[in-house]
Chains A and B, each alone.
Chain A
Amino acid sequence: MTGELFLFFILALTAVLTAVGMLTSRNAVYAALFLVLNFAVVAVFYLMLGSPFIALSQVTVYGGAIMVLFLFVIMLLGAENIKAEVTLKKMWPALVLSVTLLGLIIYMIVAKVPMVGLAAETSVADAAPKPLAVSLFSTYLLPFEITSFLLLVAMVGAIVLTKQEKKGAGK
């Protein structure tokens, strides 16, 4: 077992465990924190896979922005706990399905994907954000613009949705 592989297993274990933690924690704040941890681990994987730009985006967007938003909402609503959460009896179809799905896809991977090794090192050229940016602003210009527009819409939407209407006004 090489060090590389060892690191992978450690990290993979962490990722799975944090995911389980998120699933099982009753408190939504804990769940959120587990998830942040999970995202961080995934970011490391990205690094290992030679995508430093994505890894950093992962940390900033998910860890920084999205999860903060989650925590903020949780705090705002004071909805950390919900009574009478999951009972195992009601869970079993979901469990069975999930496990089936897992099994199926793993079988797929084993059967269809060749055992190609992936080096953890990255060449500078591959990883440099610059060619990525060039590609983003040339080939993918239109999707990029649409996405930015989407963000704008989402922003406006979020504001409109959550805006408190004054009582009596506009009715």
Chain B
Amino acid sequence: MENTQLFFNFVPWIVFFPVLGLLLNLTIGKKLSENGIGAIAVLASASAFVVAVLQAYSLSIHPEGASILVAEWIHVGDLAIDWTFRVDTLSVTMMLVVSGVGTLIHIYAIGYMHEDVRFHNDEGRFKRFFVFLNLFIAMMMVLVSGDSYMMLFVGWEGVGLCSFLLIGFWYDFDTLGRPSFANSNAAKKAFITNRIGDFGFLLAAFMMFWQFKSTNFDNVFAVVANAEPWVILWITIFILVGVAGKSAQIPLYIWLPDAMAGPTPVSALIHAATMVTAGVYLVTRSAPIFMLSHDAQYIVATVGALTAIFAATIAVGQYDIKKVLAYSTISQLGFMVAAVGMGAFAAGMFHLITHAFFKALLFLSAGSVILGMERGHHHLAHHGHHGGKHDEEVFDPGDMRNMGGLRKQMPVTFWLYMVGTVALAGLFPFAGFWSKDEILADAFLEFPHVYWILTGAAFLTAFYMGRQVWMVFFGKPRHEVAAHAEESPLIMTAPLMVLAALSVFGGALNLPGVHTLTVWLEHTIDIHPGEFNMQVALISTALALFAIFLSWLLYMRKPLTTGQPDPLKRILGFAFTGMENKWFVDEAYKFVFIDRYTDLAKFFAQTVDWDFWHEWFHNSVIAAGFVGLTKFLANPIDLGIVDNISKILARSIQYSSENFRKVQNGFVRSYALSVMLGVVAIIGYLLIK
């Protein structure tokens, strides 16, 4: 794939532009205004988008793509990993999505960050935010454009880092702006959970290297067919662990809802549209491996499907506008993972793209709602309608129980939100309909149990989105704040409109019969276009409409009033408590893993290492033992035996010397006599000898 024609050589700039942007902001950001910083960041991201478009154009002429070597990275023994950019239809698709949606969100963020509820006059926030955001774009680009698993991994961990930084962006607060470790906890949780996934990824990479002697995509795929089945199964399972971490699948999804602690643009960009779909991209990229093992496909599809329905049930029970969307994202990711797991790679990628559009739209609109609420709160506090009462309690602008009737206060946002909702619910002819349907159609053919689970999840999706819309925009305001909410400025709504348009028409990317996307991706992965299944489409549409009707029945016919418990609680009882509390998974994890590890660490650190090893063993055994030994040697041995021996020696010497002393009488002649004696003795000896 050494193709350097056209614009292929520009591909590294897809990373360099954002890096350039962040470096610029890092160095001169202090001197720039908020808009200046934002402009640089947007420009950087937009430049990346332009590069991506150029790549797409080049590909349309040379669909076989290219690999561009920038530098060698790790060359050890027979291990050779390079910084090589890969341009093919799959990677360019991802580039377009990431940089496109990314740029829109950058623009939105300029408006959003200006008045985020939690900024508390933090002046450095713009610089920090856009530096992180650009870094994220760069890392995401590394992820999607890498030519080997290891370069992909760099981006993989890199986006994890950005996720950590951005979730913990307001690191000294909790989500409501109170001083707390809560946000940083959420950030830490995300990073560590991701690391668990990375652990799986690493093992997969090790296995690939030792089996195939390379981690380069082409090299691996060239020989993977010769590998033994157990090797392939283990590699796919390890990859699945990685996917579960990054794309928030069971059992590692727990970090994503907490990740909503980040500013809303972050939730939209990272935790809905791009980063979390990296797992889907990874599986699609590894299609040649997954295709080889039916068991692997079965496992992946099942995990995806279970995640889809499990998260959907939780979404039903949430009150925070972003939390609902977060669980919805998990659920939709489950759809995608299930799709790519089944081998419906085109469908998975298709859903990935449309989901990026409408979920970003939803999140950003939700952000707009939250800001609108916040403006209302601000307005109230300033005009002092209700005295100091509101200053005492902390107001949560994201709580849907405080909303209601926002349709009138925020009409633009309302309509945008509606587009997103319908797209997500999967109603004809919005983007979500086409992509979701393709997944369901494939599942229907491949794995019926996955199909049924996913259909259930789709039903729930329509229901919780209906619930949300009714609660937020319809009925009467349940709080004074909602009554005073204000619409967002154009800089925020304009990108939303673009996204809304994409959500409406995104389905055109891969219409049945035309299969544009499938054909496009076929250049890279070996896939076949799925056929449109009218039966499946009808069932799901009917179910979605039914779900919306149900939600209308519950939440619209008799709109909620202030302080009223959720009507579902009456119907579902304990089950709803479970949904509300996320089925207590977090608590269970905390009890089973986190607390145990903390205890274990404490036990090791305090009891084993310090008390036992450092103090007891060192001080009592080694040191005291040594002291004891020296005492033993000093008293019984030294004084008792050695000393006595020397005493006896000394006495005998004393005694003998007292006698010998007499010899030293000072008479020269007696000395001479001794000498003479010696002479005689020696001569005598010589004679005898």
Q: Which of B673, B679, B680, B687 is A107 in contact with, Cβ under 8 Å?
A: B687
Across the interface, do B673 and A101 meet the contact criterion of CB distance under 8 Å?
no
Chain B residues with CB under 8 A of A105: 683
Q: Which of B383-405 contact A (CB under 8 A)?
A: none
Query: A94: CB under 8 A from chain B?
Result: yes
State in angstroms the CA–CA spacing of A98 and B676 once bound together: 8
State in angstroms the CA–CA spacing of A104 and B683 once bound together: 7
Q: Which of A91-130 contact B (CB under 8 A)?
A: 93-94, 97-98, 100-101, 104-105, 107-108
Across the interface, do A101 and B687 meet the contact criterion of CB distance under 8 Å?
no
Across the interface, do B687 and A108 meet the contact criterion of CB distance under 8 Å?
yes
Q: Which of B639-689 contact A (CB under 8 A)?
A: 673, 676-677, 679-680, 683-684, 687
Measured CB to CB, the closest approach of chain A to B308, in angstroms, equals 112
Chain B residues with CB under 8 A of A98: 676
Chain B residues with CB under 8 A of A101: 676, 679-680, 683
State in angstroms the CA–CA spacing of A76 and B402 once bound together: 139
Nearest B residue to A93 by beta-carbon distance? B673
Q: Is the contact region of chain B dominated by helix, strand, or loop, or is it mixed?
A: helix
Q: Which of A94, A104, A108 is B676 in contact with, Cβ under 8 Å?
A: A94
Q: Which bracket fits the contact residues of B?
A: under 10
State in angstroms the CA–CA spacing of A107 and B673 once bound together: 22
Measured CB to CB, the closest approach of chain A to B663, in angstroms, equals 13
Measured CB to CB, the closest approach of chain B to A58, in angstroms, equals 25
State in angstroms the CA–CA spacing of A169 and B680 once bound together: 50
Q: Which of A97, A104, A108 is B677 in contact with, Cβ under 8 Å?
A: A97
Q: Which of A97, A100, A104, A108 is B673 in contact with, Cβ under 8 Å?
A: A97
State in angstroms the CA–CA spacing of A100 and B676 once bound together: 10
Number of interface residues of A (CB under 8 A): 10
Across the interface, do A100 and B680 meet the contact criterion of CB distance under 8 Å?
yes
Measured CB to CB, the closest approach of chain B to A110, in angstroms, equals 12
Chain B residues with CB under 8 A of A94: 673, 676
B 233-269 binary contact with A (CB < 8 Å = 1; else 0): 0000000000000000000000000000000000000
Q: Which of B119-133 contact A (CB under 8 A)?
A: none
State in angstroms the CA–CA spacing of A104 and B679 once bound together: 11
Chain A residues with CB under 8 A of B687: 104, 107-108
Chain B residues with CB under 8 A of A108: 683, 687
Measured CB to CB, the closest approach of chain B to A43, in angstroms, equals 27
Chain B residues with CB under 8 A of A93: 673
Chain B residues with CB under 8 A of A104: 680, 683-684, 687
State in angstroms the CA–CA spacing of A100 and B684 once bound together: 9
A 147-171 binary contact with B (CB < 8 Å = 1; else 0): 0000000000000000000000000
Chain A residues with CB under 8 A of B677: 97
Nearest B residue to A100 by beta-carbon distance? B680
State in angstroms the CA–CA spacing of A105 and B680 once bound together: 10
Chain A residues with CB under 8 A of B679: 101
Measured CB to CB, the closest approach of chain A to B320, in angstroms, equals 112
Measured CB to CB, the closest approach of chain A to B58, in angstroms, equals 102
State in angstroms the CA–CA spacing of A147 and B684 once bound together: 34
Across the interface, do A97 and B683 meet the contact criterion of CB distance under 8 Å?
no
State in angstroms the CA–CA spacing of A101 and B679 once bound together: 8
Measured CB to CB, the closest approach of chain B to A107, in angstroms, equals 7
Chain A residues with CB under 8 A of B683: 101, 104-105, 108
Chain B residues with CB under 8 A of A97: 673, 676-677, 680
State in angstroms the CA–CA spacing of A100 and B677 once bound together: 10
Measured CB to CB, the closest approach of chain A to B674, in angstroms, equals 10
State in angstroms the CA–CA spacing of A98 and B687 once bound together: 17
Measured CB to CB, the closest approach of chain A to B297, in angstroms, equals 106
Chain B residues with CB under 8 A of A100: 680, 684
State in angstroms the CA–CA spacing of A94 and B670 once bound together: 9
Measured CB to CB, the closest approach of chain A to B662, in angstroms, equals 15
Measured CB to CB, the closest approach of chain B to A20, in angstroms, equals 19
State the A residues within 8 Å of B (CB). Answer: 93-94, 97-98, 100-101, 104-105, 107-108
9 inter-chain pairs at a CB distance below 8 angstroms, sorted by A residue, are: A98-B676, A100-B684, A101-B676, A101-B680, A104-B680, A104-B683, A104-B687, A105-B683, A107-B687
**Top 3 closest A-B pairs, CB basis?**
A97-B676, A104-B683, A101-B680
Give me 4 other A-B pairs in contact (C-beta within 8 A), A100-B684, A101-B680 excluded.
A97-B680, A104-B683, A104-B684, A105-B683
